[in-house]
Amino acid sequence: MKTKVAIIGATGYTGVEFLRLLLHHPEVEVTALTSQKYAGLPIGQVFPSLMKTLQITCEELNIEQISKKADLVFTALPHKTAMETVPLFYRSGRRVVDLSADFRLKDASVYERWYQKHTASDLLGESVYGLPELHRDKIRGAKIVGNPGCYPTGALIGLAPLLKSGLVSHEGIVVDSKSGVSGAGRDVVLESLFCEVNEGVKAYKIFAHRHTPEIEQEVSLLAQKKIGITFVPHLIPMDRGILSSIYVQLNRKMKTEELLNAYQECYEGEPFIRIYPKGKLPNTKDVRGSNFCDIGLSVNESGDRAVIVTAIDNLVKGASGEAIQNMNIMLGYPETLGLEVIPLAP
Amino acid sequence: MKTKVAIIGATGYTGVEFLRLLLHHPEVEVTALTSQKYAGLPIGQVFPSLMKTLQITCEELNIEQISKKADLVFTALPHKTAMETVPLFYRSGRRVVDLSADFRLKDASVYERWYQKHTASDLLGESVYGLPELHRDKIRGAKIVGNPGCYPTGALIGLAPLLKSGLVSHEGIVVDSKSGVSGAGRDVVLESLFCEVNEGVKAYKIFAHRHTPEIEQEVSLLAQKKIGITFVPHLIPMDRGILSSIYVQLNRKMKTEELLNAYQECYEGEPFIRIYPKGKLPNTKDVRGSNFCDIGLSVNESGDRAVIVTAIDNLVKGASGEAIQNMNIMLGYPETLGLEVIPLAP
Amino acid sequence: MKTKVAIIGATGYTGVEFLRLLLHHPEVEVTALTSQKYAGLPIGQVFPSLMKTLQITCEELNIEQISKKADLVFTALPHKTAMETVPLFYRSGRRVVDLSADFRLKDASVYERWYQKHTASDLLGESVYGLPELHRDKIRGAKIVGNPGCYPTGALIGLAPLLKSGLVSHEGIVVDSKSGVSGAGRDVVLESLFCEVNEGVKAYKIFAHRHTPEIEQEVSLLAQKKIGITFVPHLIPMDRGILSSIYVQLNRKMKTEELLNAYQECYEGEPFIRIYPKGKLPNTKDVRGSNFCDIGLSVNESGDRAVIVTAIDNLVKGASGEAIQNMNIMLGYPETLGLEVIPLAP
Amino acid sequence: MKTKVAIIGATGYTGVEFLRLLLHHPEVEVTALTSQKYAGLPIGQVFPSLMKTLQITCEELNIEQISKKADLVFTALPHKTAMETVPLFYRSGRRVVDLSADFRLKDASVYERWYQKHTASDLLGESVYGLPELHRDKIRGAKIVGNPGCYPTGALIGLAPLLKSGLVSHEGIVVDSKSGVSGAGRDVVLESLFCEVNEGVKAYKIFAHRHTPEIEQEVSLLAQKKIGITFVPHLIPMDRGILSSIYVQLNRKMKTEELLNAYQECYEGEPFIRIYPKGKLPNTKDVRGSNFCDIGLSVNESGDRAVIVTAIDNLVKGASGEAIQNMNIMLGYPETLGLEVIPLAP
């Protein structure tokens, strides 16, 4: 019998991506979709791409009803709303993978510095940071998984092997990320209009993006020491994809091949990590629509500085795909179930 | 046991699309890929999007070898080369789905007017025009299927219900098509450079595009009378998709709803045709990556003229997807096998 | 002494385009900008592209104040608002070039069928349809110029030589237009979001676009007989540009060269019309940022049908550039003053 | 009397950009264009955007002939070819602004490490690095100007105030640049095809891009000490623009406002530098088509690290516009002549 899942907040870009992926998951059935805006409408009317593939009608969010219909719940709500909703599902015994920022940060005071008052801080101890490549074991038994932000996913997969192995200086780490526009969601704002974004590129929220504390929490865990990073996001005229270029100082001289070996070793057996050979570098286009995180890197001639580049699809490995990967782990399914999607290129 | 298939000319955009789709086909195994340019290279090195998903190395085209490895062959070669290659597979008893223009036109003299001398015209009688929605029964037993061009697919699916039912005048039919750039293939030519295409739109080959005789052959069959059409292709700055806007004069006055009913009836049970309700129109974005052909239409107030709009992904329903649909029919598999791909949106 | 002009509604895309062009006009000085939304802000803060080029602050619309500051007024307001504002300037003796639809249609009842009640219909007789290539003489003395819509500009320049010369059938004329996204303005709506538009193409408002009556009014004038056309607009993923493909039945057999000659003759001396030689077709990219309208065409082999293609920049020849051309005519300046802008390519 | 200039290699993207800008230059006349590929063709046939604006025919490169026709020569040739051509013009007494890499590096051995043997190293002493904001005085009298690379222009304008003032550590400087596709020129290569570039972003030539030694030469001059930088270029799906994000460690704690003041002071009076107020950051879209270099920056909370972002149009300030700026300086014209172009937005 299939596991029943509900998607709360189903009509953003992560919502439609959940459906695209889950409809091919052999062990899961989507039994409920909620949407404040589109309640009452069949999902195929909200997203014509889903016509003739799925016959579910969006409904209003009713915790009791949804809890009856679903064993596991994906919450794709804005932060704050998530914090009010997730505890209700938790108390009704449903496991939750939450895509907001509300259950990612372990320290409520950090959350409150970057966001607002946390009204469910008692549950932060219950929640696990859902980056499978780092926390697979804890995710298995988690009641609440705080699914990582899109930028932190690419940054942390790129940084983890360096920090685990103590290969890099903790000072001066720079993460320069370039994101497609779907990362901003489906909110109707001037900044996301076609003519404002197309044929341009800009940095935004330098030193001020809310994914910064999330990256810093996890790199500090990896380094077993509180460390800071410089993180700057950029907006690129394309639908999907995040490329993160990571700049580090090496603690000892090495060659590109050596560093590649360290990455190969660290990610041995990881189904979604693809490491490029020397001289090749990833392109977000080659992961589009898939749950892959591609990695390429280079060490300079003098052997003391390295650049690591990671590429993900922000809506898949950076959101819905990673959430399904987490669900697979929580439910004891093979981790790749429903996620063996080959990238769409070109 | 799975059916073994080979892809001849595997390293163009239709080639990589075949692989993306066939890797999830439960009854088919890709056993050989040929490429003149990349022979000897693992496919994952040619297309990084395929890394870690498929371990096949491109080989040179050797008819004997490939015939041993494959029960059915997809030929994705330029016209002329196709005409020289397909007969060899045919004679070695292999069924072929050919993606070139060489086996689409029934009349060799028409072919020779638009292309060049036909050196395998004796096989034109063996070949079936591979548009399943029109020729499903003949495709079933075909030895050679001439897979339709991308433009004809969208045009013919849009025109068929009108012509079958005798609803439209045979005079003055206009097909105005807008195509993404992948339709031009992966050839390295000035006209396909990013900076030449991006932020512009143009018509090309007015009255002179080689897909014209193909459309005219099939509409004449449908109308049971030789008829001509005005077909103009346009190039649009996007990767994939063809939108065809079809302009016709109606033979009797009717309303949009009536015409929609005629389309519903004509395409009853067709798994890949989606007809939009009155007031809604398709967007190529909503079929991207899928084998769907979406249709919308409108009749004018006076009830005598109609516009029909069809949207396809030129690499799927307009090429590799349709070829796989044809293969499914030829092999007696459910027609949708391997093709239940949900569009990638956004 | 320079002529003083004001721009009413200066902070949409046509507003910023006015400024880009007028700042290089040797005989004109922009003395006032109004904006409901940005009143009080220097224009360089609204549009960073204008930083360091122009020091004007947006103000609220006050007819009396503006009339003191300006000899001629460009009104770039939504329809209905325009209808309320233009008469006030008219009565204060200011000449107006209005970019809304409110002063384009001669017949108030047609306006009311497509828009709403017309509250300034008494001024329709005063107003001239501002397509210089058709109405140059009347524009010269006009008090109010109704600047053409972007689609009508490209359609009418393409159709005029055919209708003037009686070369084409009045039946079955089709105009299939493809527009960049700036044509939809800077309104913050879901349909204009980057991820909704990018990598897709769609038709919209078939038989229902409000530019239809405007095109029909002018073609009927040219044909000296009431005629209808089929007009279908499409949205293309690019910032600027409209390509219009026009499909007609010829009244007598002719060759491409003959038809080209008719166009050459008709547009002899027109500074902004460029006619392509046989075998060449225009691309919107080659007019971007300029006031040119490029024309290419082809007649079919049997000589009875023709396709004409026109390319304009919707924000220049389709809006602000044409308005400045009208202003030059009204003020007796050389028509090309301030408009000798070379297209930006690539 | 106007100065006569020739453009050698006029049919690449920098060539057409020269023409777009020079046609409005009041003191300059373009008297010759050379093109190996298009010799004999009127330029309007090579670039339809230039139809009706300029009547010059491309010719083969003949040093003697060109020297007769032109007082100053812009050479837009590939490196190596430039090195063979520039000396010939030099010897015939013509001043040259060279857009290749051949006359930028002062140290022939550095050139030879990154490129190939230098056959005109005797002229390196004659040549001046053409970044006006750094070397205006020397440019004035120069016989040969080595016009900067596109990446170095944005990087150096961003770094100069920091290095001049001694505000930053010389260790660990990172320049992460994002470029539009026109930066790769008009060469017909697979990597520049629309479908290879669109909807993707990638890094390339990490630690290996040939603009690195050029940046290092100039920062070392500014710092009066040999220093290295980490420079990584990225390719972005847009036509024009380079955004450079520069990461530095500050030598003493400061606030964003203080650092902004240092930039204001350093670039006081510079006509093409626009500095954004605190909280605002540049977008390449807002400089498109213009010679501006926009700068924004931010210092972190602890005051020890800063990020500076610069935006240029790679074909204008990063190539032809800067070359014209250099020409104006060399000829004693006002520096902004012909370059007062307002950015095209959207």
Chain B residues close to D47, C-beta within 8 Å: none
Q: Identify the CA nearest to D23 among candidates D12, D10, D36, D38.
A: D10
Q: Residue ranges of chain B with pLDDT lower than 70?
A: none
The Cα of D191 is separated from the nearest Cα of chain B by a number of Å equal to 9
Q: Per the CB < 8 Å rule, is A236 touching D285?
A: no
**Does D346 touch chain C if contact means CB atoms closer than 8 Å?**
yes
Catalytic position from the list B58, B150, B266, B293: B150
pTM: 0.98
Could you give the CA distance from residue A279 to residue A296 in angstroms, rounded to a whole number?
8
Query: Which residue is catalytic, options C150, C195, C266, C293?
Result: C150
Identify the closest residue of chain B to A269 by CA–CA distance.
B52
Å from B133 to nearest chain A CA? 17
* Cβ–Cβ contact C247 with D under 8 A: no
Q: What is the pLDDT of residues A302-340, one digit of tens each?
A: 999 999 999 999 999 999 999 999 999 999 999 999 999
Look-up of token digits 């007019």: C287
* Residue C169, CB-side half-sphere exposure with 13 Å CA sphere: 15
Can you tell me the distance from the alpha carbon of C184 to that of C189, in angstroms, rounded to the nearest whole number? 10
Whole-number Å distance between alpha carbons of B218 and A309: 51
Residue range C30-52, pLDDT digits in tens: 999 999 999 999 999 999 999 99
Q: Any chain B CB within 8 A of the CB of A317?
A: no
Look at D195 and B192 and tell me if their CB atoms are within 8 Å: yes
- Cβ of B181 within 8 Å of Cβ of D198? The answer is yes
Q: Does the complex come out with an ipTM higher than 0.85?
A: yes
Q: Do B199 and C240 touch (CB under 8 A)?
A: yes
Give pLDDT tens digits for A240-263.
Answer: 999 999 999 999 999 999 999 999
**pLDDT score for C310:** 98
Q: How far apart are the C-alpha atoms of D36 and D156, rounded to whole Å?
A: 33
List CB contacts (< 8 A) between B340 and chain A: 24, 53
Q: Does C190 touch chain B (CB under 8 A)?
A: no
Mean pLDDT by 10 residues, chain D (346 residues): 96 96 96 96 96 95 97 96 97 98 97 97 97 98 98 98 96 98 96 98 98 98 97 98 98 97 98 98 98 98 97 98 98 98 96
Distance between CA D119 and CA D77 in Å, rounded?
A: 16
- Against chain D, the chains showing at least 3 CB pairs within 8 Å are A, B, C
The model's pLDDT over C82-115, given as tens digits with 9 standing for 90+, comes to: 999 999 999 999 999 999 999 999 999 999 999 9
* Cβ-defined contact of B237 to D198 (cutoff 8 Å): yes
Interface size, chain C vs chain D, as Cβ–Cβ contacts under 8 Å: 85
The answer to whether residue B301 neighbours chain C at the CB level (below 8 Å) is yes
Contacts of A288 in chain B (CB under 8 A): 49, 344
E-strand spans in D227-292?
230-235, 242-249, 273-275
Q: Which residues of chain C have pLDDT under 70?
A: none
Residue C199 has a pLDDT of 98
Active site annotation includes C150? yes
Q: Which chain A residues are Cβ-neighbours of B239 within 8 angstroms?
A: 346
Touching D: C residues 121-160, CB under 8 Å: none
What single string gives the DSSP state of each residue in A232-284? EEEE-SSSS-EEEEEEEEBSS---HHHHHHHHHHHTTT-TTEEEPPTT---BG
Chain C residue with minimum CA distance to B250: C172
The answer to whether A207 contacts chain D (CB < 8 Å) is yes
CB contacts, 8 Å: C113 with chain B:
none
* Residue among B191, B202, B301 with most chain C CBs within 10 A, to mutate: B202
Which A residues, 95 through 114, put their C-beta within 8 Å of a C-beta on chain D?
A: none
Confidence of residue A292 (pLDDT cuts 50, 70, 90): very high
**Beta-carbon pairs below 8 A across chains A and B:** 85
Angle ∠(D301,D306,D307) on CA atoms, nearest 5: 120
Q: With contact defined as beta carbons under 8 Å apart, do D288 and D241 qualify?
A: yes
Please report all neighbours of C, defined by 3+ CB atom pairs within 8 A.
A, B, D
Q: What is the SS3 assignment for A201-212?
A: CEECCCCCCCCH
| Chain B partners within 8 Å of D189 (Cβ) | 188
Chain CA centroid to CA A345, Å: 21
DSSP code for B153: H
Task: Pull the structure tokens for residue B29.
Answer: 């195994």
Catalytic hit among D58, D150, D266, D293: D150
State the Cα–Cα distance between residues D84 and C280, nearest whole angstrom: 37
Per-residue HEC secondary structure of D107-168 comes to CHHHHHHHCCCCCCHHHCCCEEECCHHHHHHHHHCCCEEECCCHHHHHHHHHHHHHHHCCCE
Cα separation, C346 vs D23, whole angstroms: 17
CATH architecture of C151-314: 2-Layer Sandwich (3.30)
The separation between the first and the last C-alpha atoms of chain A, rounded to the nearest angstrom, is 37
Verify whether the Cβ–Cβ distance A289 to B345 is below 8 Å. Answer: no
The reported pLDDT for the residue numbered A106 is 96
Per domain, the residue ranges of chain B are 3-125, 151-314
Domain C3-125 -> CATH class: alpha beta
Residue given tokens 């100069």 in the structure block: D160
Are the CB atoms for D311 and A211 separated by under 8 Å? no
The shortest CB-CB distance from B195 to any of D189, D199, D239 is to D239
B23 to chain A, any CB pair closer than 8 A? The answer is: yes
C151-180 burial: b if 16+ Cβ within 10 Å, else e? bbbbbbbbbbbbbeeebbebebbbbbbbbb
Instruction: Tell me whether residues B189 and D188 touch, CB distance under 8 A.
Output: yes
Nearest to C193 among A193, A199, A237 (CB): A193
Question: Residue A196 has what pLDDT?
Answer: 98
Within chain A, strands assigned E span 3-8, 28-34, 72-75, 95-98, 127-129, 144-146, 174-179, 202-203, 230-235, 242-249, 273-275, 293-299, 305-312
CA B45 remoteness from chain centre: 27
Chain A positions touching D246 (Cβ under 8 A) are none
**C193 close to A (CB below 8 A):** yes
Question: Is D117 an interface residue toward C (CB < 8 Å)?
Answer: no
